[in-house]
């Protein structure tokens, strides 16, 4: 079987453009990925991911490519565009949907939703799922996630309703201090008139959305959309029969969850649990 390289659409993203230019110059030079990796003393697997637009270039690779191919700063210039676009393209559509939504309803079973994360928790969450990613790539992705929260403070923010499983409050991400600051941030977010927070306690028992995240997006002049997300994948649901079932599931979770006032009390109790105890005085 003849190997067929992964297709790229250079006009789709800066990552695709960088990968397409890398492949073009590599093939024009008659080099395999393995040979180019050897000549650059670079990881072949990471070069492949960059060429497929699945990973960010990092370190001094753009400069090395310009020197190797004699491209007079082409890859260095492209890298500046790539740095501003740290989100993999498979998430672009749902991010675009979220940016236009007038109402966002989300249930999170395992971790704090991105729109509510502190920068410290965002960094630790991303690192846990991508242990081999370069530090610069993790920081860029976390920064992009935090930047999207600005919409919650805009003049016309979306109406947001978040249901957090109790596990979100109890599972440590990073240090106890990171968790305490995250609980404080949740309490502050919950005071916004356009944000409602509820906690689904453990004793609520089983339900249909265990183990995943469900988000419902209301957009102007469009049917309701749903988004199901696991630890490493996400699916946009547009079929209205399926969306209706998921909306019913969300409404049931809302009924099972604590009231906003009782939810705040549980978050405050979790914050106290994450507060380090002072050592006894002697």
pLDDT (tens, 9 = 90+) of the chain, 282 residues, equals 333 455 666 666 788 899 999 999 999 999 999 999 999 999 888 899 889 887 777 668 999 999 999 999 999 999 877 776 666 666 778 888 898 999 999 999 989 999 999 999 999 999 988 888 888 888 888 888 898 899 999 999 999 999 999 999 999 999 999 999 999 999 999 999 999 999 999 999 888 888 789 999 999 888 999 999 876 678 899 999 999 999 999 999 999 999 999 999 999 999 999 987 655 565
Q: Is residue 2 part of a domain?
A: no
Residues 223 and 117 grouped into a single domain: yes
Same domain, 198 and 254: yes
- 213: in domain: yes
| pLDDT tens digits for range 79-113 | 877 776 666 666 778 888 898 999 999 999 989 99
Point out the domain boundary residue: 83, 104, 129.
Answer: 83
Domain extent for 268: 89-273
Give yes or no: residues 134 and 18 share one domain.
no
Is residue 43 in a domain?
yes
Tens of pLDDT, residue by residue over 2-18, are 334 556 666 667 888 99
Whether residue 119 sits in one domain with residue 201: yes
Q: Is residue 263, in this structure, part of any structural domain at all?
A: yes
- Residue 281 in any domain: the answer is no
Within-domain flag for 282: no
Question: Residue by residue, what is the 3-state secondary structure of 83-94?
Answer: HCCCCCHHHHHH
**Cα 116 to chain center, whole Å?**
12
Structure confidence by residue, pLDDT tens digits, 140-169: 888 888 988 999 999 999 999 999 999 999
Query: DSSP string of 25-75?
Result: HHHHTT--HHHHHHHHT--HHHHHHHHTTSS---TTHHHHHHHHHT-TTHH
Domain membership flag for residue 6: no
Q: Report the alpha-carbon distance of residue 24 to residue 21 in Å, rounded.
A: 5
Report DSSP state, residue 151: G
Q: Is the pTM of this model over 0.85?
A: no
CA-CA distance, 148 to 93, in Å (whole number)?
A: 14
- Residue partners of 79: CB distance under 8 A and separation at least 6: 18, 57, 62
Residue 209 belongs to domain with CATH number: 3.30.870
Whether 76 and 127 map to the same domain: the answer is no
99 plus 78 within the same structural domain: no
The residue from 67, 83, 99 where one domain ends is 83
Q: What is the CATH number of the domain that holds 72?
A: 1.10.260.40
Domain end (from 83, 105, 125): 83
Please state the φ and ψ torsions of residue 231, each to the nearest 5 degrees: -70, -25
- Residues 122 and 137 placed together within one structural domain of the fold: yes
Let me know if residue 280 belongs to a domain: no
> Quick one: 163 and 145 in the same domain?
yes
Pair 74, 66: CB distance under 8 Å: yes
Domain count across the chain: 2
Sign of the CA dihedral running 42, 122, 99, 241? positive
Strands 213-218 and 225-229: antiparallel
Residues 150 and 42 in one domain: no
Q: Are residues 156 and 50 in the same domain?
A: no
**Does 75 lie in the same domain as 137?**
no
Same domain, 101 and 66: no
């Amino acid at each position: 079987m003849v190997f067929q390289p992964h297709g790229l659409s250079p006009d789709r993203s800066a990552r695709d453009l960088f990968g397409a230019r890398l492949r073009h110059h590599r093939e024009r030079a008659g080099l395999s990925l393995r040979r180019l990796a050897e000549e650059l003393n670079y990881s072949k697997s990471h070069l492949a991911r960059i060429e497929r637009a699945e990973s960010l270039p990092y370190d001094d690779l753009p400069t090395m490519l310009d020197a190797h191919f004699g491209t007079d700063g082409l890859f260095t210039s492209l890298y500046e565009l790539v740095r501003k676009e740290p989100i993999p393209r498979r998430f672009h559509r749902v991010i675009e949907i979220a940016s236009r939504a007038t109402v966002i309803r989300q249930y999170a079973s395992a971790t704090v939703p991105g729109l509510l994360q502190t920068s410290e928790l965002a960094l630790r969450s991303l690192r846990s799922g991508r242990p081999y990613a370069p530090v610069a790539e993790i920081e860029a992705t976390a920064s992009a996630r935090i930047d999207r929260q600005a919409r919650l403070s805009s003049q016309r923010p979306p109406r947001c309703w978040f249901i957090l499983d109790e596990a979100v409050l109890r599972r440590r991400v990073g240090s106890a201090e990171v968790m305490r600051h995250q609980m404080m941030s949740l309490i502050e977010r919950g005071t916004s008139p356009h944000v409602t927070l509820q906690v689904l306690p453990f004793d609520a028992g089983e339900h249909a959305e265990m183990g995943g995240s469900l988000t419902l997006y209301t957009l102007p002049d469009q049917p309701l959309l749903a988004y199901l997300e696991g630890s490493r994948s996400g699916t946009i649901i547009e079929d209205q029969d399926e969306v209706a079932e998921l909306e019913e599931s969300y409404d049931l979770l809302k009924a099972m969850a604590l009231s906003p006032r009782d939810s705040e009390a549980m978050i405050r109790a979790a914050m106290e649990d994450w507060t380090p105890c002072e050592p006894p005085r002697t």
